[in-house]
Amino acid sequence: KQSVCKFFERIKKGEVVHFPDIYYDVHLVDSSFPSNPIWVSALGFTLNDINGKPEKIVLMHENITKQKIAEQELRIAKVHAEESDRLKSAFLANMSHEIRTPMNGILGFAELLKEPGLSGEEQQEYIDIIEKSGVRMLNIINDIIDISKIEANLMKVDIKECFVNNIMEFIYNFFKPQVEEIGVKLIFKNSLTDKKAIIKTDYEKFFSIITNLVKNAIKYTNEGSIEFGYELVETLHESVLKEKSLQFYIKDTGIGIPKDRQSAIFERFIQADISDKMAKQGAGLGLAISKAYVEMLGGKIWVESEERVGSTFYFTLPYESVTE
């Protein structure tokens, strides 16, 4: 409004005035028009009478709203691209450490195994360390391959019937010894019978999502409990049709996530951010891969968390009723 007033004041003084961009709302001039601000490029000047006195004001303007919106979108895209490049650079720097650490473990303890006179107990200890280092390196490489396929849109989806309870129970039994070893209680709850707990989805991706989220909970939980399960939910679609889905959850009593980080944790390479003091050992790709998989399978994923209290990760997958 102030820009428009100054524009006319200068014209009245006899100046030829060009404002390349004015944020202008016709509603401010004529209240009969709805409020719909636009950007205009304006040129104004006065026409004088035969005595040289201002007689008319000539005003020409061009609606440049689309141009300004495009410029704004370009600026936002530039910021996102720069942030993505920064995180990728941090990721690559982090990878040199993440890969070097298990590799040093493998090579170092393989060398120690050559030492004569080792007891059977020492040999087994070194072999266990080599095995754990190899598994860690393989997990990192698999994550890198998966995220590369996702980035290149090469990841395929193989839909088939999956028995949810069987998968969840397997994951529970797999992680239970590891969790109990650190003094944390692992809890699994299902809400459907085995015959009804069947969904059509990609088995490998579904398994990977649950596994990644449970591993993430274990990583950041030092005491208390980790609980995971699911429930059947119905949502109205277009106010008429009810859509059914299974809503999975993984709840922990870990360190929690600060509010200013919650929207970023599903971004690719975020844990590799060298300024991230919360980052722990790992490539920082698990949550990003999980988010991509959930969306590929027609669901959504989100988190609710309170710092120093814990976090609950949720995700949904489409569900079709099965006759028992």
Q: Residue 237: what pLDDT?
A: 63
Q: Residue 259: what pLDDT?
A: 87
Go through 230-254 and write b for each residue having 16 or more CB atoms within 10 A of its CB, e for each that does not.
beeeeeeeeeeeeeebbbbbbbbbb
Q: What are phi and psi of 136, to 5 degrees?
A: -60, -45
Q: Residue 23: what pLDDT?
A: 56
Domain range 84-151, its CATH number among 1.10.287.130, 3.90.1150.10, 1.10.3720.10, 3.40.190.10: 1.10.287.130
Q: Residue 238: what pLDDT?
A: 62
Q: Do domains 84-151 and 159-318 have the same CATH topology?
A: no
Quickly name the fold that domain 2-63 has: Beta-Lactamase (3.30.450)
What residues does each domain of the chain span?
2-63, 84-151, 159-318
Go through 129-146 and write b for each residue having 16 or more CB atoms within 10 A of its CB, e for each that does not.
bbeebeebbebbeebbeb
DSSP assignment string, 262-319: HTTTTSTTGGG-TT-TT--SS-S-HHHHHHHHHHHTT--EEEEEETTTEEEEEEEEE-
**Residues near 237 by beta carbon (within 8 Å), at least 6 away in sequence:** 243
Q: Residue 30: what pLDDT?
A: 41
Asked if 236 and 242 count as a contact pair (C-beta separation under 8 A), the reply is: yes
- What would the CATH number be for the domain defined by 159-318? 3.30.565.10
Q: Residue 299: what pLDDT?
A: 95
pTM of the model: 0.66
Q: Residue 34: what pLDDT?
A: 53
Q: Residue 203: what pLDDT?
A: 95
Distance of alpha carbon 44 from alpha carbon 61, whole angstroms: 8
Query: One digit per residue, pLDDT tens: the chain, 324 residues?
Result: 455 566 667 666 666 666 565 555 543 444 454 556 777 777 777 777 777 777 777 777 778 888 888 988 999 999 888 877 777 776 676 677 678 888 888 999 999 999 998 999 999 999 999 998 998 888 888 888 888 888 888 999 999 999 999 999 999 999 999 999 999 999 999 999 999 999 999 999 999 999 999 999 999 999 999 999 999 998 766 655 677 899 999 999 999 988 888 878 887 766 544 344 444 555 568 898 999 999 999 999 999 999 889 999 999 999 987 654
Instruction: Please give the C-alpha separations between residue 64 and each of 7, 23, 38, 74, 113, in angstroms, as whole numbers.
Output: 17, 10, 8, 15, 73
Q: Residue 278: what pLDDT?
A: 47
By the 10 Å C-beta count (0-12 exposed, 13-18 middle, 19+ buried), 155 is classed as middle
Q: Residue 221: what pLDDT?
A: 94
Q: Residue 14: what pLDDT?
A: 61
Closest CA to 3 of 36, 48, 39: 39
Distance of alpha carbon 137 from alpha carbon 130, whole angstroms: 11
